[in-house]
Amino acid sequence: MRNIQFIIFFSIVITVYGLLSFYIYSKGLQAFPHGSPARLYFKIVFVFLSVSYIIARFLERIWLSSLSDIFTWIGSFWLAAFFYLLLIVITIDLLRLVNYNIPFLPESAKSLEFKKIVFWSSVGLVSLLLLLGFINALMPRIKTLNLTIDKQVEGMQELKIAFASDIHLGTLIGPRRTNKIIQRINELKPDLILLGGDIVDEDLGPVIRNNLGDSLKKLTAPLGVIGITGNHEYIGGAEPAVKYLEEHGIVMVRDTFLQIDNTFYIVGREDRDSPRFAGTGRKEMSEVMNGIDHSKPIILLDHQPFELDEKEKLGVDLTLSGHTHHGQMWPLNYITKAIYEVSWGYKKKGNTHVYVSSGVGGWGPPVRIGNRPEIVLLNIKFN
């Protein structure tokens, strides 16, 4: 049944992608005269770019190699280009529709030369966006958050936590970027490191091939390194991913809790998409927290930032999430803002501190436009 659902979903996605690609293609083709060599080159390049990501995903499953890496990089950049070219083409057609009813464009707008100008201007603008977005994605900032939890902890007045979500280890987040992220985390000298899910990017193959586990072993904190699953661990197979992460120094907390040095609790939730991808339900939050001493601070990790009211009701002092990427590419942040009570940033609900990170890595296009990747440094005081 699950295979049939996947086939149906995949077919719908490919059909919609194909139709939208043809829409962009047909508009771009208007900039090239019939019979010109440039028109043929455009057709070849456009088709190649359009199928590159699909080829990459196929190759990663049958022949993980430098060739699959090349197609992954090309295809991933193309996804971002496709998105912004689609926005440009839709905007142009809307302007044409307005012009049809209220003429304001010059007659020259119908000429081939004008269409060439629009085409190359669009290509130039999108290329510039991708370049700036790629540079931005390579430069995560340190987001510092100073919080007070109104609970006394014997022998501990302050706690320094480094929180990183959505690393997405794999082909795009390879050894160099992984080591840079880990170096930035270690430079903070945290007492505790928390990883908020989507540590790996679906397929475990590229992670093993690039030996990224050895980089994870370099994470150091006196109170340890603790992680949870995200939806991408489940997309690629949660059990092998969790096993790999645990073998490389990360304590994975799955619908249970840990008491750290008899001072505070870390509660880790299984990702809410586990029923969809693995057919296994996750526990109710009240069940997960059963047995916790509420006189001690409670820090909850939940990859997707839902059920904030319930977390407040159950007495969680601090809840940390990721998943949203805050849209990753403008204007998708408006969609994540509409879906989630907190798409990115801090909010306090009663006595519960809420923080949703935009993530330190990224999924799909290796670009960030309209927001910054981040590592969160939490300076917590117990009062």
Query: Cα separation of 331 and 341, whole Å?
Result: 17
- Is the Cβ–Cβ distance between 374 and 344 less than 8 Å? no
pLDDT at residue number 3: 67
| 166 Cβ contact list (under 8 Å, min separation 6) | 196, 197, 198, 230, 322, 323, 325, 357, 359, 360, 361, 362, 363
Bridge partners for 147 per DSSP: 380
State the CB neighbour count (10 A cutoff) for residue 71. Answer: 22
What is the pLDDT, as a whole number, of residue 236?
A: 87
Rounded-to-integer distance, Cα 3 and Cα 87, Å: 33
Average pLDDT for consecutive 10-residue bins of the chain (383 residues)?
A: 72 95 97 94 98 94 94 97 98 95 90 95 98 98 97 93 98 96 98 97 93 97 97 92 97 97 96 84 93 96 97 97 98 97 97 98 96 98 93
pLDDT at 2: 58
Burial environment of residue 312 by CB neighbours within 10 A (0 to 12, 13 to 18, 19 or more)? middle
Task: Give the residue from 41, 78, 75 showing the smallest Cα distance to 55.
Answer: 75
